[in-house]
Structure 1
Amino acid sequence: MGRMHSRGKGISASALPYKRTPPSWLKISAQDVDDSICKFAKKGLTPSQIGVILRDSHGIAQVRSVTGNQILRILKAHANGISGTESIVWQRNGTESIVFVAVLYINVRSLIIRQVRGARTEPILVYDLIVLLVFVRIGLAPEIPEDLYHLIKKAVAIRKHLERNRKDKDSKFRLILVESRIHRLARYYKKTKKLAPVWKYESSTASTLVA
């Protein structure tokens, strides 16, 4: 596949196992894998880091072949009170606080709009419900999608480098390319409801997102 900002074609690709069924020697159950994923997520590990640990330490080449779901979907399901493999369980840690913040946001925003525009609050309430759905879907999953997070982290590192080396023109050019990818990816995630519609990348506050 052609590269976005270079002339090369690239040979990097994922190497999925040929057999999509779990091997016969794997004795771990889907519920145990589910619990391990949530335990690692609560320690602050990203979905890709969790997948590496499960592959190298537990012999699980592909989580989807064991549980029927991807790691990210399992984390989102647990956050919304749905077990990733078997039953519906209300997870009180995290979910109630997310819903409380989202509902508080809706009430305050609607109150402000009502004072400014009068009784015409229906359009803004629809917009707020979209924000609420985005908040509730986050849960144990990373607040920012992992690929977007690493692009922001790279942009922050380049900016720190430019503070020490102001005449580095190549880094200035690379920063433009990285930030253009950030804006393009953020636009896609807003369209697919994986980011809140009000989310915006700003270089001045980007370091707080990856701190």
Structure 2
Amino acid sequence: MARMHTRRRGSSGSDRPATDEPPEWSDVDSEAIEERVVELAEQGHDPSQIGMKLRDEGVQGTPVPDVNAATGKKVTEILEENDADPEVPEDLYNLLERAVRLREHVDDNPTDHQNKRALQNTESKIRRLADYYRGDELDESFAYSYERAVELTE
């Protein structure tokens, strides 16, 4: 959804490792990785933050370049197995936070038309993403509203 409401290019991410196997220098046990993932989730980290922490800090002092290659599971799958997954998917949560910030800004600055438009675009993205997740990761009755967004982001 990078270019839907703007002419800018999408944000680029870091390069993924070239192989599907964990490197020889990273000999961390997959069970230790899963325990660390659950521990970081209980501390309040998002799945993307967990991946970066494992890459930078590692487990038992050894960095983990790719959780999926080391364990055969994605970070979100590990969280689901251990009932530590967030109630709202991370991308939707980030959009909800943005919408709350924009709404507060627009309430304080009613003549800021550029941010009114940004709020409209963000709410549009939220509704489309909620339609995508509804039934699988969200309740069937989930509907976006500002009050609901404030409640979920607190």
Instruction: Compute the TM-score of the two structures, normalised by the length of structure 1.
Output: 0.67
Question: Paired residue for 1:7?
Answer: 7
Q: Distance in 1 between matches of 2:79 and 2:38?
A: 7
String of CA shifts for 1:155-189, please: whole Å, max 9, x gaps: 00001111211111111111000000000000000
Question: Paired residue for 1:195?
Answer: 138
Q: Distance in 2 between matches of 1:154 and 1:174?
A: 10
Q: Distance in 2 between matches of 1:156 and 1:143?
A: 18
Question: Paired residue for 2:54?
Answer: 54
Residue 8 of structure 1, CA deviation = 3.3
Tell me which amino acid in the other structure corresponds to 1:64: N
Residue 24 of structure 1, CA deviation = 0.9
Question: Paired residue for 1:204?
Answer: 147
Question: Paired residue for 2:77?
Answer: 73
Equivalent residue runs for 1:1-211 within 5 Å: 3-10=3-10, 12-58=12-58, 59-79=63-83, 140-190=84-134, 193-211=136-154
Identical columns (%): 37
Residue 2 of structure 1, CA deviation = 6.6
Q: Give the conservation status (yes or no) of the 8 Å contact 2:37–2:50.
A: yes
Q: Which secondary structure state, in structure 1, belongs to the residue aligned with residue 146 of structure 2?
A: coil
Residue 210 of structure 1, CA deviation = 0.5
Q: Distance in 2 between matches of 1:52 and 1:11?
A: 17
Q: Distance in 1 between matches of 2:134 and 2:14?
A: 26
String of CA shifts for 1:130-158, please: whole Å, max 9, x gaps: xxxxxxxxxx1010000000000000000
Gap runs ≥5 in structure 2? none
Q: Distance in 1 between matches of 2:43 and 2:108?
A: 34
Greater Rg over alpha carbons, structure: 1
Question: What's the C-alpha RMSD, in Å, of the aligned pairs?
Answer: 1.6
Q: Which secondary structure state, in structure 2, belongs to the residue aligned with residue 5 of structure 1?
A: coil
Q: Distance in 2 between matches of 1:6 and 1:48?
A: 25
Q: 1:4 to 1:14 in 2, by over 3 A?
A: farther
Question: Paired residue for 1:103?
Answer: none
Question: Paired residue for 1:121?
Answer: none
Gap runs ≥5 in structure 1? 80-139
Q: 1:11 to 1:185 in 2, by over 3 A?
A: closer
Q: 1:39 to 1:13 in 2, by over 3 A?
A: closer
Q: Which secondary structure state, in structure 2, belongs to the residue aligned with residue 205 of structure 1?
A: helix
Q: 1:78 to 1:210 in 2, by over 3 A?
A: same
Alignment size in residue pairs: 150
Q: Distance in 2 between matches of 1:163 and 1:11?
A: 29
Q: Distance in 2 between matches of 1:156 and 1:43?
A: 24
Q: Which structure has the highest helix share of the two?
A: 1
Q: 1:11 to 1:186 in 2, by over 3 A?
A: closer
Q: Distance in 1 between matches of 2:11 and 2:146?
A: 32
Q: Give the conservation status (yes or no) of the 8 Å contact 2:3–2:9.
A: yes
Residue 69 of structure 1, CA deviation = 0.2
